[in-house]
Chain A
């Protein structure tokens, strides 16, 4: 009894014995990895598959339903071994040069024969000629501190192809990369660029001076990229890892950001600060989308850097596409959350109170009672120059505006106008009531809080204070900075 595997070649189903399947799969993999690099090659590969389907169709009869190992071997004999295909192609160009170059070149592959997870460390160890344990330790350390190791591992997993065919396995184990190889690489690219420019000048393809310049520039840039690609890649990778570590790290430590102010280096919680402006569920959306918007381009840079650094040649279009879609998704959520914050400020409400003071003296003292003195400086997230707008980790302090107006009335009148905003009239009114502000009149002295205080929800609250004074009364203690 044999186990058979059902396969689909060119739209036709065949049952293949397990051992025959292994050989056929290796054969097709090898052809595919060779041909799938160009559009022309893809067409050739499709033709070959369709021929295989035809040959197999001829084998199948009512009595013989299964493709055996013998059939597969016959097939390979008819079509030719992969080497036969490739030999033909090598002859195409400068045979010996190319042959030499091919055997020398080393490519990064994942080693799935000797793997812990996906064979990334093992593949890297072949590429750099360093023990694989070292890479594993690096990944674990990077994962433990900041978590970036996980991201890098996943990106490498996606970016690096698996060594499937014999030739890929050989490429994986080729000559180790060292300084003299890199030097040679740079020299080769320089020669190529020089040759390329010269050739193009001789050919009549280059029609005018402008085209010539563009051509020279692009050739040089391409050359630089190829020759110094590894350095640029290294820069990309370092940059990506650094930013990722900061992001992941700060997310792990409760969104704590570091800021530098008059009180030295302090930290504050990003989510706590946001609670002043929106609901906590919206904060989650906001942070989540912000994380996507920032992280995806950085992952992209990291991906590009790793590809440049390790000379990986894969044209995977699906992963960048998925990344882009997620990124757009992040922007949509971010926009919606921002609009949600904006909605909290759409409707305004104001209430004015009028108090007539009874005084006997003709001199009145104006005094301000500081409410910000008790704030621990380390909790201040934002303050403007005059400290008349101040945000701490859970409150907002705002100076009211004062004005003194001469009036014809007999006594002093204090008008206090409170304003607030909200997503509807009712909500604006609720927000208005959240203003904490005290003042009083005692012993000929007007005592005003220096700031109005809002705990939890800031919705554009403000206070305007107007003092109407009869002409015969003087007010002392006025700091004219407070008035306009």
Chain B
């Protein structure tokens, strides 16, 4: 494992939770729906990595879920955002905007120099 890989995946992982909270901000969703949106956005490559993350977020009180019967296959877990999750999402949005503008400032300044 190279150090480049590590930093990249760290960055991706950092925003992953933010994105999940954003997806669930509008409506409840089934794990596969969340996965599909993240995949389309090229934030994740494989599905497997998301299951531990969802469980961890649920256990820390950001998400909750309920079971729903499915016509195809076993019952599905539908995730929705909790009050705590909403608060945290708001906080993350601010942090994200600040960070984007900070990073933009620095990268723009430096690219001007080049």
A residues adjacent to B (C-beta < 8 A): 10-12, 35, 40-41, 43-44, 47-48, 50-51, 53-54, 56-58, 77-81, 84-85, 87-91, 95, 99
Contact = CB atoms under 8 A, between A and B. Distances in A.
Contact of A58 (B73, B74, B75): B73
B9 A87 contact: yes
B45 A84 contact: yes
Given A40-B55, A57-B72, A58-B73, A84 B9 contact: no
Contact of A51 (B13, B31, B45, B49): B31
A437 to B, nearest CB: 81
B55 A57 contact: no
30 contacts: A40-B52, A40-B55, A40-B56, A40-B59, A44-B55, A47-B31, A47-B51, A47-B55, A47-B77, A48-B51, A50-B75, A50-B77, A54-B73, A58-B72, A79-B48, A80-B45, A80-B47, A80-B48, A84-B45, A84-B48, A85-B49, A85-B52, A87-B1, A88-B13, A88-B49, A88-B52, A89-B52, A91-B10, A91-B13, A95-B6
Contacts of A53: 73-74
A57 B70 CA distance: 11
A54 B52 contact: no
B52 A12 contact: no
A43 B55 contact: yes
B48 A48 contact: yes
B102 interface: no
A58 to B, nearest CB: 6
B41 interface: no
Contacts of B75: 50
Nearest to B49: A88
A47 B54 contact: yes
Interface string B34-73: 0000000000011111011011100100000000001011
B59 A57 contact: no
Contacts of B49: 80, 84-85, 88
Nearest to A55: B73
A13 to B, nearest CB: 12
Interface of B: 1, 6, 9-10, 13, 31-32, 45-49, 51-52, 54-56, 59, 70, 72-77
Given A91-B6, A99-B1, A84 B54 contact: no
A54 B73 CA distance: 5
* 7 A-B pairs with the lowest CB-CB distances in the bound complex, closest first: A80-B46, A54-B73, A80-B48, A57-B73, A10-B74, A79-B48, A47-B51
Contacts of A50: 73-77
Nearest to A77: B46
Nearest to B72: A57
B73 A85 contact: no
B54 A88 contact: no
A44 B73 contact: no
In the complex, which of the residues A58, A84, A88 has the most CB atoms of chain B within 10 Å of its own CB atom? A88
Contacts of A58: 72-73
Contacts of B72: 54, 57-58
B53 to A, nearest CB: 8
A31 to B, nearest CB: 8
A54 B47 contact: no
Nearest to B54: A47
A80 B76 CA distance: 20
A52 to B, nearest CB: 9
A250 B48 CA distance: 57
A57 B32 CA distance: 14
In the complex, which of the residues B13, B45, B70, B73 has the most CB atoms of chain A within 10 Å of its own CB atom? B73
A91 B2 CA distance: 12
B55 A51 contact: no
Contacts of A54: 32, 70, 72-74, 76
A80 B50 CA distance: 10
A212 B81 CA distance: 38
Contacts of A44: 51-52, 55
A57 B74 CA distance: 9
Contacts of B51: 44, 47-48, 51
Contacts of A91: 6, 9-10, 13
A77 B72 CA distance: 21
